[in-house]
Chains A and B, each alone.
Chain A
Amino acid sequence: MVEVRLFAYFRNNRGKIVYVDPNQYSNVQMILDHLGINLSDVQILLVNGRHTHAQHELKENDIVALFPPVAGG
């Protein structure tokens, strides 16, 4: 399975961690579509700690992390 770690309001109604089957959701964009998150709302997209893009192909045991932009003071 792929572990998808959600942060900030992405957790609302989705929880902190979602597990998906990489055979069913083969790239990050498919996960975003599955979760109903717009790519344009994602500021930081990491796979296994590295910045990547939505077309990144996923494999078993990958860890995806998604953060929205936060700038306030």
Chain B
Amino acid sequence: MERYLRNKGSITQSQQDLLAQRHVVVLGCGGLGGSIAESLARIGVGKLTLVDDDVFVESNLNRQRFSTLKSIGLSKVEVAKEKLSDINDQVSVVAKKVYIDSSNITLLTKGCDLVIDALDNFVTRRIIEDANLPVPIISAAVAGYNGWLTISKPGYKNIKHLCSYMNKGVEQIFGNLSFTVNILAELEVSLAIRTLLSEELSFHGFYFVDLKSLEIEKIEIIE
């Protein structure tokens, strides 16, 4: 298919066919989630479920992929679904304007192959990990020029290392910069595609990204 011509060389036809059968749930459809959803759709993941109860506000415009002046006040997942259908009509997109909590996380992710955490707070991230989902979770967060990224197969608990008992981190001081958000989003996508193609990438720990020194450091934690 002409659409995936430039995937070739790195993604074989059989892998492309495999991606078309995969279902990814993206939790959060803001800075990280919007970019992740777009990349997954462009590369050819067959089904995406986007979950976020939020609407676009003006302060999203500095970084969030689908935010525009016209989309302020509109549901993030509904806007994303519409934009994604313009990008790749081969992808099935389900938009769920739902607040994620411990009572619905299992149902929201039922039947998927992979969960991507693109959230913006510690409380919900912990809920996802504590749900003991039967699929891998790829997770990332940003603040200023920094971010972390991790992947946990079932049974691994990497997110707990990174979550404080507060709900927010130093992004409240240093903000959420467009380039940091997008780089971390694409790093999540790169791990997602390799995971969907059956590479085993989980480890105990995380990657820490510093865009001032242009470094990605692998931090292994001894349990």
Contact = CB atoms under 8 A, between A and B. Distances in A.
A70 B141 contact: yes
Question: What range describes how many residues of B lie at the interface?
Answer: 35 or more
A45 to B, nearest CB: 11
B196 interface: no
Nearest to A72: B171
Question: What range describes how many residues of A lie at the interface?
Answer: 20 to 34
B220 A49 contact: yes
A9 interface: yes
A44 B33 contact: no
Looking at chain B's contact residues, is the secondary structure mostly helix, strand, loop, or mixed?
Answer: mixed
B161 interface: yes
A2 B173 CA distance: 30
Interface of A: 7-9, 11, 16, 43-44, 46, 48-51, 65, 67-73
Given A49-B220, A73-B30, 10 more contacts: A7-B146, A8-B144, A8-B170, A11-B210, A51-B161, A69-B169, A70-B148, A71-B121, A72-B142, A72-B171
